[in-house]
A and B are shown apart, each in its own frame.
Chain A
């Protein structure tokens, strides 16, 4: 598996300086999702009548990793953005051994055998998610060390 992952480091990263990151405020670790608006039902009913952007919706082609710890190995920027933004979903799917996010990560890392990838990640769960405070960079570094 290791060889596979390291080879993807060569995938060129596109410059995206012109576009603001859209996810910069939600974090790089677990628990970085959008918290529900706890308005009353009536307020919600009224609000739903105007589809309103929450502050994080800009015109951006990256979800941003600017506030995150960097990976040790040179990584595909898309993979970094994806993992940073989907930490919780990815953790759940890795623990279950299958899922759309795991398949997406396999595609981003140009891994051919998705099933083998998913099951390798599952059986190495504790070395990928080493603690509850792991961040995107740890997860990717740990995956590439498998």
Chain B
């Protein structure tokens, strides 16, 4: 028997080649098998971190893309996937002169971790050019969780969005990169309703994107007019490097996007855990993930350090309102509008130079606002902006305006509300119990929320009186946007309400839908509003009606708040109805409030007067 080594050294070339390759592969495989055995001994595939890398909360991965798994059943078998990964790392090779498609280059986070856990030796040497370019350019040094808060006239936006920002060695945060997860759909071609439904049930793919942070700043600060809050994460550069490796692994994969659960914010939690597995961020979320809630959890887990505020353009313009008189504001309108008289303005002796600076600065912001709103076209915008800025540049630096920082949204109450009430209705005792999964109404404490903005889903309130349980209210969606009119902004306020309640003339619980529109005015003291209302109730038949609503919300510090509202309705049946409510609220802590309230509802027979004491707990 000729020893194998002789064949390799002396046999025909082709045989030698194949034998050599065979031996090389078997020895590599042998090596892989040794490590797989070691992994089994260490029970590595059961470890929390391996499950984080596979996005596998228990037995099934949330990543729906088969290409993410090296084993055919890798999405449901963490052990098979780990073994397949170790094998693939030893079998690894690139193609067509590039290693970018090798396992090591496609799964750098898995490789990094396995090398550390198993002390893998003798892996093929590969050059991951694409990933190296990314790592070098992103240059991870620090990271933050970024939360663009609600924008005016869109209560749904208070559900918000979060994404991760990775900071580089540059001082300027504008040069950081944003890692974002979103449903991949074209909002311009799809109907809004279809869109919302598909978003809820998982009709879109979710995708990751990476882009310069300044693009996100433009999107939220300028286009969407949302204040941006940045919450610095307590992560080391090495941890963020591993996060970036993991982002690379998943950036090309797809998963179904579910608005309530596997959404943008939830997927950021996987990334933070991939960086720092000692924090447990996903566990508290069972049935829904409201974006700001993820930051609440991150704070509780101690992974948030500093907080920063980046005002929206709207907030900046509102700040200018404090520095400018009504007459100055007229100048802003004139300069940014058609009545163009820049030369007269500059030579005018009526205003001091600082006021002129403020007026020109506000004009440059206002004209951009007009342009983004589609009120003027690009060439008009460019020429007016150019001239306004030219005038401003001649006036020196001057004073900086002070933009008031709102209360951190993380000081606000949590999303889920439990309510217990006790009181008297028409001289008889009555008790209420309520649960509301989300999110905020205009009687709740506004600390950390945009005043006058409400969005409620599935608000349920039961009452108990005389051994009888009634559904007092079963809301489907209740949205309110009371957007104040200011010197610069003249929005319309509106309200949408669908569900069942007992506010109709008869005593039983009725289905209702109503839509209102009107105006709101605000000050430091609070705000007042008037709305016109179109409504329907399904009594025996469908009853339609119109109504008028006037209300006021007054504040005393962060703790006290008073709500007043009166409604007059006229129905197509010829009946009319009046409703009145008054409530006084006290915020005892972030998640606990007490209220006293009085409600009057006109009825066919005996009108209802309800006085009650309310205890609310948010979590």
Contacts and interface: CB of A to CB of B under 8 A. Distances in A.
A81 B185 CA distance: 27
Contact of A46 (B185, B193, B224): B193
Contact of A50 (B204, B368, B374, B383): B204
A2 interface: no
A43 B192 contact: yes
Interface in B125-172: 129-130, 133-134, 136-138, 153-157, 159, 161, 170-172
Given A91-B385, A132-B382, A97 B397 contact: yes
Contacts of A104: 170, 172, 174-175
A119 B361 CA distance: 16
Interface of B: 129-130, 133-134, 136-138, 153-157, 159, 161, 170-172, 174-175, 177, 180, 182-188, 192-193, 195-196, 198-200, 204, 207-212, 214-215, 218-219, 222-224, 251-252, 257, 259, 263-264, 357, 360-361, 364-365, 368, 371-374, 378, 381-383, 385-386, 389-390, 392-394, 396-398, 400, 479, 481, 492, 494, 496
A146 B130 CA distance: 38
Contacts of A59: 208-210, 251-252
Interface string A107-124: 110000000001100110
Interface residues of A, number: 70
Contact of B211 (A43, A47, A57, A94): A57
Contact of A126 (B211, B382, B390): B390
A60 B156 contact: no
B96 to A, nearest CB: 15
B381 A31 contact: yes
B481 A33 contact: no
A30 B200 contact: no
Interface string A18-56: 110011000001110111111101111111111111111
B209 A53 contact: yes
Given A47-B192, A122-B397, A131-B386, A31 B378 contact: yes
B488 to A, nearest CB: 16
Contacts of A23: 215
A71 interface: no
A41 B386 contact: no
Contacts, number: 225
Given A34-B219, A88-B368, 5 more contacts: A45-B496, A47-B195, A61-B134, A97-B397, A100-B172
Most A C-beta atoms less than 10 A away, residue of B171, B185, B200, B218: B218
* Residue among A45, A50, A96, A118 with the highest chain B CB neighbour number at 10 A: A50
Interface of A: 14-16, 18-19, 22-23, 29-31, 33-39, 41-63, 78, 81-82, 85-86, 88-89, 91-92, 94-98, 100-101, 103-104, 107-108, 118-119, 122-123, 125-126, 129, 131-133
Q: Which of A38, A43, A92 has the most CB of B within 10 A?
A: A92
B544 to A, nearest CB: 20
B393 A94 contact: yes
A25 to B, nearest CB: 12
A97 B399 CA distance: 10
A57 B154 contact: no
Given A49-B196, A59-B251, A132-B386, A35 B215 contact: no
A52 B185 contact: yes
A44 B180 CA distance: 20
A141 to B, nearest CB: 18
A49 B204 CA distance: 13
Given A63-B211, A108-B175, A14 B389 contact: no
Contact of B393 (A58, A122, A132): A122
